[in-house]
Amino acid sequence: MRYLIVLVFALVLSSCSSTKKIVENTPKEEPKEAVEVEAKVKTETILQAEEIPAATEVPIEVEVTPKVKETTIQETIIASTEAFNHNEWNKLLAQHVSDAGNVDYKSFKSSRKALTNYITSLGTSMPNNRWIKEDKLVYWINAYNAMTVDLILRNYPLQSIKDIKDPWEQRLWKLGDKWYNLEEIEHQILRKMDEPRIHFAIVCASFSCPKLQNEAFTASNLEAQLTNATKEFLSDKNRNDISENNLKLSKIFKWFKKDFEQNGSLIDFLNKYSVISISEKANKSYLDYNWDLNN
């Protein structure tokens, strides 16, 4: 009996020892909260790693946008820039020419140096193939008028441009490497540009000529300036007397008849700019030309 009790006690101790070893060797289960936190950290780390490429692309987009805008602005500025700056001539006209086109040559003489500087500047930047037609027209119209005023000042005082010997043939002005005269500018350059209204823009310093505008011609405003000069000349009773059936015209329309018939008849041209509707059968005659100085 005593042996039986000892045997049972030994078996109980052996069972408890085995249970203890199983418990000690079994991995401990981590708290649920700890597992969730670790999973969340891992997830955020993965997401951040995936977002890195997208973040590096942002500066590239920012750099491209300003470059496109900068190019657009630059092209707009270039497109609206005059090929040549005629501000100096504009200032001289505003100072010495009235709204009616009368030129104060006496006061103009006090600005002779400024006029010479302007003409000299024309020679430093002459028209080239990159210039548009409007810029070329403006350059030569302003050059012709400035040189005509300079010719008068070289010989002032006088009563008429015809008091000067060969006024339109004198090569007095150097532009670039060439010496020019008024005849070449008018007939070999301006008239070949197929714009008949230049005859109301260039001025020969005479009473019967179109009036000298007291502002410089500019490429950006050329169409309006030429149209205005033409309408003013046609409506001036001292230069033209126009009615529906009877025309007393400036001899400019006789001398340069072909220039005004490029796109129709002379009457067609006149009707485009006259406030009076002229008949195709209107009688035409030409007024005497007054060469007295336009002062």
pLDDT, one tens digit per residue, over 197-244 is 999 999 999 999 999 999 999 999 999 999 999 999 999 999 999 999
The yes-or-no verdict on residue 141 having pLDDT over 80 is yes
Map tokens 């007024």 to a residue: 287
Evaluate the CA torsion angle 125, 115, 205, 103 in order and state its sign.
positive
Map tokens 């005509």 to a residue: 148
The yes-or-no verdict on residue 142 having pLDDT over 50 is yes
pLDDT, one tens digit per residue, over 177-188 is 999 999 999 999
Instruction: Give the pLDDT band (50/70/90) at residue 12.
Output: very low
| Enclosing H/E stretch for 148 | helix 133-155
Angstrom distance (rounded) from CA 199 to CA 256: 9
Angstrom distance (rounded) from CA 140 to CA 138: 6
The yes-or-no verdict on residue 38 having pLDDT over 60 is no
Counts of helices then strands in the chain (DSSP H, E): 11, 5
Q: Parallel, antiparallel, or unpaired: how do β-strands 178-180 and 173-175 relate?
A: antiparallel
Which has more confidence, 241 or 49? 241
The yes-or-no verdict on residue 175 having pLDDT over 70 is yes
Instruction: Give the pLDDT band (50/70/90) at residue 83.
Output: very high
| Residue 179 identity | W
Instruction: Give the pLDDT band (50/70/90) at residue 28.
Output: very low
- The pLDDT of residue 143 is 98
Instruction: Output the pTM of the full model.
Output: 0.73
Mean pLDDT rounded to a whole number for the chain: 82
- The pLDDT of residue 129 is 95
The yes-or-no verdict on residue 7 having pLDDT over 60 is no
- The pLDDT of residue 105 is 98
Over residues 85-110, the mean pLDDT reads 98
- The pLDDT of residue 81 is 75
CA distances from 30 to 42, 218, 271, 289 (A): 17, 88, 103, 117
Over residues 68-91, the mean pLDDT reads 62
